[in-house]
Structure 1
Amino acid sequence: MNALSRYLQGASLGHKLSAAFAVMLLLAVGLGILGVHALGRFSAEIQRMYEKDLQGVSNARAVQFHYATMGRHLRQALLTADPSLQALASQQIEREHAQLQRELDQLHQRVFRDINRAHLAAFERDYATYRRNMTAVLQLARQGRLQEARAQASSPQFADMGDAVANAMEAVATTKEEGARLSLQKVQALAVDTKRWVWTILLLGGVFSTIFAWLITRSIGIPAVELRKAVERIAGGDLQHEVPHTAHPNDMGALARAVAVLQVAARELEDQRWVKASSAALSAELQSATSTQELAKVFFAFMAPLLGVGRAALYLHDEVHHRLRLLSGFANDGHDAPPGQIRLGEGLVGQCAASRAPILLADPPADYLRIGSALGSAAARSVSVIPLIRGARVLGVLEVASLDLPSPARHALLDAALAYACGQPGDHATRRAYPAAA
């Protein structure tokens, strides 16, 4: 669920709508497939019931009807002494026998249960006997021996055979009707089962659709709320928090990246305001200094908290002796104090003065320089060696060590502060050091 939620948060609005449409389409297709399958089974069961049972029942009942009609015509032949009427009854009996045989042939094609095959075989066997008996009775009647014919037709043996024939066909018809009833029950059970499946799919589809809709709403709502809070923080002046969802390749990600651009612009404006305000305050502080020694102390006292200075040393250039002389320091302990004089080209400080270019060290070795207090010490993370230049002259070198890497805003402030200290605001060599510090 969390993975799906994260995926939806990163997906575009078009993909989310497409996914929702796909879910609804899948539900509709599932219901359609179920309906088509159920209709196919309904049709197959009804067709089978019609062809094998209902039509078989119709054939069996037709056989019974023709058999009963033959019995009536036999009685009519035995009740009259008129030879013409007897001949007519015999013709009708033959006609009914032909129709019975036709229905019987069709019934043979629709019998598929073993029990019905047995009943049908018994019917045909008993009917053949009954047919021979009936022919013998009619022969006696045509010979004028009506009393004998009537006696034979009313004998128990003749009646038992007739009942056996009727019972055999009744058994076939009853079995066929029972088969039709079972087929109907099967169709009804299939309908109930299909209805249950439809309700199950609708219920599950409704639950899944609700969950999916909630996830889509959540994937839109949560980033929107978080982005709104980020905008409110930026509007309130909090420019350090990262804007969320900028990595998302969707519409919300594009909006987040636009907000991040605004945050960067606001941060730059805030940095510029901070640099200008701090520079103006430093300029006012430096106005009170009456000597270079006092100027250095005021500079370090004011700038150290703003720049995060852990240790620092300020050297002035002795142009006569071509040396750098230590003017002042900041937070330097006694056993690791900077040297009082450095020749041009000696060490990083001397090389900085000789080359007139700043030198920046990021993450120097742990034993290179440590910044300490009364409670402990730690290795410096950055060391900046910056020349103080006025026109074509090198006035000195400033070395600053800090526990963190300098930011562009701190570089800009240091540039402005050194420009004021050198007496030419807005122009200093530290500007060339920005790319190396970034």
Structure 2
Amino acid sequence: MRFLENLSLYKKLLLSFLIVISLSYVAIFLSVNALNNFNDKITFIVDNDIETLINSLKSRRLIVELRMLEKELFVPANETEKSKNLFNISTAQEELANRFNTISKLSLDPQTSKGMEQFTNNYRAYNLTLKNVMVLIADGKTKEAIVLSRTKGNEEAEAVLISAAYVTTALEKKFKVANAETDVLYDAQIKITIIFSLSVFLLSLILAWVISRSIVARVKQLINTTKVIAKGDYSVKASVKGADEIGELATAIDTMQDKLLSSHQEMDSQAWLKAGIARINKVILGQEDLHGLASKIINEIIEFIGAQVGAVYLLKDVDNDVVLSLSATYACSSSNDAPSEFKYGEGLVGQVALSRKQILIEDAPKHYLRVISGLGETSPRSICVTPLLFEENLQGVMEIGTVKYLNKLELDYIAQVSEVVATAFEIAMAQEKMQIQQEKMRVQQIELEEANDKLRDLDQMKTNFLSTVSHELRTPLTSVIGFARIMQKKFESVLFPALADNPDKKVQKAMRQVMDNTSIIVEEGQRLTTLINDVLDLAKMEAGRVDWNICELQIEDIIDRGIASTSSLFADKPV
């Protein structure tokens, strides 16, 4: 049997021809033709339909990824993250275009072709809506973009996924039909072999049966393998050995299965990562308290990857020194003697902060860190300490411990989620600083209002004082001016006419001095009254309600008035 498996189909049929010349020619022709048809069909499935299935599955995955990237457009982010998100969207759209272009070059049956046409049209409609959403966001119309995404975008995305599922279903049905056709070919081959075997000698019958058996059993095994693969189980292998065409076909099916399995695993991994990032984003939204945010984040990460303990350390200023202070923990023992603050380079936490590189410890020493439950305690096998970096600026350090070994996918998740977490902490810290500044401004505003109230009280006291002083000055001044005017009139009407004929020069001089001094008293009294009125108008001046009259004055008049008003002071002095 091993000998026959290592012979090619041509040699097997040639051996039958040598045994039964008369019937072998027809049997060879029919068998080769049937097997070629079978091989062509399987080859077509491998080269065409399977390729179509792979591209449709990847296109479906890219649609889901596009949808997730579209939702990330509404998450507050800096320009770097926005650019990165737009680049990822552009990359996904370009890869989708390549997938559709590849499928368009393949030979498809009418049903699959119709499904792909619907798939393509639905995607173009959704892609146009996505571009409109991006334009609205770029124009600052985020609310309109969200409404468009959640209404028309959701409907079109769902239509794309439904059409993708339709194509996948159509291909699976096609695989089933292909399996049925191969079964028909198989049955026909058996019947032809049996019919011609009846007319040959017993030896040719036995030989034909052995040869057909070596072919049929392996072909049937391949058929069963393709059926299992068509149902979505990509872990099965076509365990058919041999150096003939069937062996080559089995090798091709195994290669196809490996590609499908790898693609399926990659899609599952990416979907798992995206789901984890989406859950973190959901936790971050609406959370403003820094420590509350840290607690929710470490809880979500621990639960998502199935870890047991964890902690988050954030930067803090202590006595003008920057340290990493414990902000939130998950299932950490209160009896742990580990410090709650680390300086740069101190311990693993400080070393990660200093180097800004992730550190992974496996098979940690006993008592390094304990995982405690109600029934006992154990030590974690893996401890991952990750820096939280926002645009190369350190925000904190996250430490996670598990009783299992962390795989590459989980480490990728921790690395990716650390960027999102760092961004959230940066925003939360900025908001906290802004609230502190607002509180300081509020206190300063209250102090300023109190100071203004005190100034207004002082101004009122000043105004009252000036008003009182001005009133006390005006009352006697009015009497002085009145008496001076009476004296001036009495002098002019009674005393001066009586003394006008007195020849004494001293009397005449004294009369003139009295007249001048009396006039000075009246004029200076009136000027002092004007000054008092001006003092009473200080409040108006401070309120800006006084109109200034700017005019030119003769300096000679000012000098003459000053000399006249003070001349009596120098009368008895040798000046």
State the structure with more CA Rg.
1
